[in-house]
Structure 1
């Protein structure tokens, strides 16, 4: 049950949104037991954002939430992959994005909890 949420100051066209969704769907399998078949994605573009007091460069904040957690090395690989995805599609430099991981044992779906 992964959820990847993106906030960026970049304008995200439908084409870029589709590219992000597809690439994130492939990348989620880096985390053990996770797959695109359970992935939910939210993308917010044109968000007023500042990094180091500056809003002139592409910026992104990416939240990756999962049921359970993953080993540190999987998060390391995921960060490398996500950095490439957001660089390729939105032009965000690696030093202008934060990626946060959060694993939880409390996750609800379809009227009950896992």
Structure 2
């Protein structure tokens, strides 16, 4: 799932002259963050190419999801 918010004012050090992107990526069952570096690289390249935003202005926040539910079904990570 992807949720886009266009025309949002993002400021870096009080400046909003450059285009910026802030992404929040939630990942289920990966507490060791395996693959995050590679994913960050690929996502940054894609956002830069598609939206023409400098990689220096693309920020990614990761969120660890230990449990998840969909369609009434509950899933919990067994990874400790």
Band the TM-score falls in, shorter-chain normalisation: 0.7 to 0.9
The alignment status of 1:108 with 2:72, answered yes or no, reads no
- Segments of 5+ residues of structure 1 without an aligned counterpart are 1-39
Matches within 5 A, 1:56-75: 56-69=17-30, 71-75=32-36
Q: By how many angstroms is 1:112 displaced?
A: 3.1
TM-aligned CA deviation for residue 72 of structure 1: 4.0
- Flag structure 2 segments of 5+ consecutive residues without an equivalent: 76-80
Aligned residues of 1:68 and 1:105 also touching (Cα < 8 A): yes
Q: Whose helix fraction is larger, Structure 1's or Structure 2's?
A: 1
Correspondence list, 1:24-43, <5 A: 40-43=1-4
Are residues 1:97 and 2:58 paired? yes
- Structure with greater Cα Rg: 2
How many residues get paired? 75
Q: Distance in 2 between matches of 1:52 and 1:94?
A: 17
Moved over 2 A (4+): 70-73
What is the CA RMSD across the aligned residues, in angstroms?
1.5
